[in-house]
A and B are shown apart, each in its own frame.
Chain A
Amino acid sequence: MVTVAKEQKVRVLIAKVGLDGHDVGAKIVALGLRDAGMEVIYTGLRRTPEQVVRAAIEEDVDVIGVSILSGAHLAHLSKIRRLLDEQGAADIRLVAGGVIPPEDLPALEQAGVSRVFVSGTHVSEIADYIARIRE
């Protein structure tokens, strides 16, 4: 399964969970990843963790990138990770970006978030990380 996947483009779901409506960052990252040769799907605003996980499984993505600025990052990301694991999609990696205070990073790592990109991160850095994620 892994060998087949390596032939294909990396598939990424960019997701906006929770209620915040600022999706410029999410769209810039989506555009940047598409320009870097990945298959990118965007969920649109205000998806629930359930909707994100369903879309990720249906679209057979390698990575979910969650953009969150509202402050409810820990609750939403933990739930997405848990739902993925419960639904046999433990191989889908979870990354996040947005307004996330650095002191929350250990808790997010604990909750199974592979990587958090804080504000100011270059899109190219995110693309490089995700491109290597299946290695």
Chain B
Amino acid sequence: MDKPEITRLQAERWRREVRDPSVQQAPERQARFVNDAGDAVEPVYTPADLDAGGFDYESHLGFPGEFPYTRGIDPAMYRREVPIVSAYAGFGDPRDSNQRYRELIGLGVQGLSVALDLPTQLGFDPDDIMACGEVGRMGVTVSTLRDLEILFDGIPLDSLRSVGSTANAIGPIVLAMFIALGEKQGLDRRQFTVALQNDVLKEYVARGTQIFPPKPALRFTVDALEWCVHNAPHWIPLTVCSNHIDVAGAGSTAATAFTLANARCYLDDALRRGLKIDQVAPLIRLFLNEREDFFLAVANYRVTRRIWARLLREQYGARDPRSLQIRIMGYAHGPRETAQEPLNNIVRITMGALTCFFGGLQDMRCASYDEAVNLPSDEAVKVAIRTQQILAHEFGITSTVDPLGGAYYVEALANRMERKIAEIMQVVDQLGGALGAMERGYVQKTITAGASRRQQAFERRERISVGLNVFPVKAETRQQTFRIDADVERRQVERLQQVKQERNQDQISATLAEVAASARDGRNVMPALLDAVKAYATVGEICGILKSVYGEYEPDRSF
């Protein structure tokens, strides 16, 4: 009898002779332990659980910096460099945000992602009727290059590890603005890094800032990717996100599967344009998420690197290690940050941040404890940054690579997740890939069903929020929430009018016409966009002219 077989028999004996009789005498806290993926959690995990899944150290884990990269994409990982401290920030008008950015940099922030207000993300200028009441609320307004210039006034783009934005439907426009801003700051493109979200596909199912119908939007997104392949190959023009799909209700396993399917959709579009896989893949990163379960989160990050490496090598024939080493970013949150007793969220966010460290991420940011209530206050933003710094430099978490690698529970979760992700990706393939699965409502139905399950679990108190559905406290003292100056909208409209007066109207008409012509002829729109933003065309004007070519998204009324 070999060693694994002995362990399996011993585990069965323990269960039968020790554990079951004990639980019969004094029952466990719950009849069943189930994680957010809907899977039963066993009382204990042993080598037998790994053997059952055909676990093999060399092929499943390997070594840091080596295929399949489960243990990390770099041989030295955090012994060389701890995860980049990034911040997602922006509010009010660009001057307010510029001030906040300077403070963040003073606290040690290395990467800045511009939080854009909803009108900007949706292609409405501040003077548009649709923007009314929303200007500067959920982020900062960037309607022209002038706004971005003010936003980064006194902040050279090369002083940060990366700059970027969560722009999605308008991703290529914001990319053009950063290119133009770099030129205005006198920088060579090789001196700084732009990292964009620009992941429009998930907007249709989970985040909701789509402007155009999916097919032209996909083309628009990949235009940015293609432009960077040729002009800025060290930038990250695309961050494919599972975060929003998971939080919307899909759960991390399905969300990762949909995210990988979306990534394939972008890659396939790039390849159809004649690009080579090793030109494109190194420019993409993933933004993964799992907030409900600590160990599932660690498993998700680690196993997705393995799935990616195999997918790219086996199905795309990638050879360049950079194509196989997927970089991952994370946003540390708790399962649910609560508006009730907001300081408790610091603990939740810390635990979320710890999953990022154990997951071997390259770039991360921590949420602010008051986000459930309002835009983050100065104090909350500072605590978020300090949280990441404390985890990076105190406790010894970063002294060795992949400290949870080989944990029976984590690896068993990873193996199961890998199988389920493969199954879901196969269904998506059968439905015609990411676009087909979306058109048929498969992704949306998975999300809504999952969201309902989570809500029911919450109401049955199987999904616990301390201070909310258990141990609730009736009366509480609320703290001051951070408010946007009501005057922001007026100031933004005034600045926009001033920019419009100063710019050359003929140049605007000509560059916008060229944007439309490029889009109509199926040429890459980036060169035309760059000319338009340099002439100070507005995001609203550019989106307006693109709508005339691409059409507009029709809202989905199903639920």
User: Residues of A at under 8 Å CB distance from B?
Assistant: 14, 18-24, 26-28, 30-32, 40-48, 70-72, 75-76, 99, 101-103, 118-120, 122-124
CB–CB B455/A44 < 8 A = no
Q: Knowing that A20-B208, A28-B448, A101-B481 are A-B contacts, what are 13 other residue pairs whose CB atoms are under 8 Å apart, sorted by A's residue number?
A: A21-B208, A21-B209, A24-B248, A43-B557, A44-B557, A47-B555, A70-B134, A71-B138, A72-B134, A75-B133, A76-B133, A103-B481, A120-B339
Question: Given A18-B134, A23-B208, A43-B557, are A28 and B455 neighbors across the interface (CB < 8 Å)?
Answer: yes
With a cutoff of 8 Å between Cβ atoms, the chain A residues found around residue B447 in the complex are: 24
B118 in contact with A19 (CB, 8 Å)? yes
**CB–CB B555/A45 < 8 A:** yes
Interface centre among B203, B448, B468, B469 (most CB of A within 10 A): B448
22 chain-A/chain-B pairs, Cβ below 8 angstroms: A19-B121, A20-B208, A22-B208, A23-B208, A24-B451, A26-B559, A28-B452, A31-B559, A32-B452, A44-B556, A46-B555, A48-B130, A70-B118, A70-B138, A71-B137, A71-B374, A75-B133, A76-B133, A102-B339, A103-B478, A118-B339, A119-B372
**CB–CB A22/B249 < 8 A:** no
A51 → B minimal CB distance (Å): 10
Q: How many A-B residue pairs have CB under 8 A?
A: 104
- On whether A31 and B208 interact (CB within 8 A), knowing A44-B555, A76-B133, the answer reads no
| B453-469 vs A, Cβ < 8 Å mask (1 yes, 0 no) | 00100010000010011
A28:B137 contact, CB within 8 angstroms: no
Contact-size category for B: 35 or more
- One of B455, B484, B556, B558 near A123 (C-beta < 8 A): B455
Residues of A within 8 A of B137 (CB): 70-72
Contact across chains for A124 and B556 when beta carbons are under 8 A apart? no
Interface status of B9 (Cβ within 8 A of chain A)? no
Q: Tell me the B residues contacting A by CB distance below 8 Å.
A: 118-119, 121-122, 124, 130-134, 137-138, 203, 207-210, 248-249, 338-340, 372-374, 447-448, 451-452, 455, 459, 465, 468-469, 478, 481, 484, 555-559
Which residue of chain B has its CB nearest to the CB of A118?
B339
A21 touches B119 (CB 8 A): no
| Contact (Cβ within 8 A) B372 A42 | no
- CB neighbours of B119 from chain A (8 A): 19
Report chain B residues within 8 Å CB of A70.
118, 134, 137-138
With A45-B555, A120-B468 as contacts: A19 and B130 at CB distance below 8 Å: yes
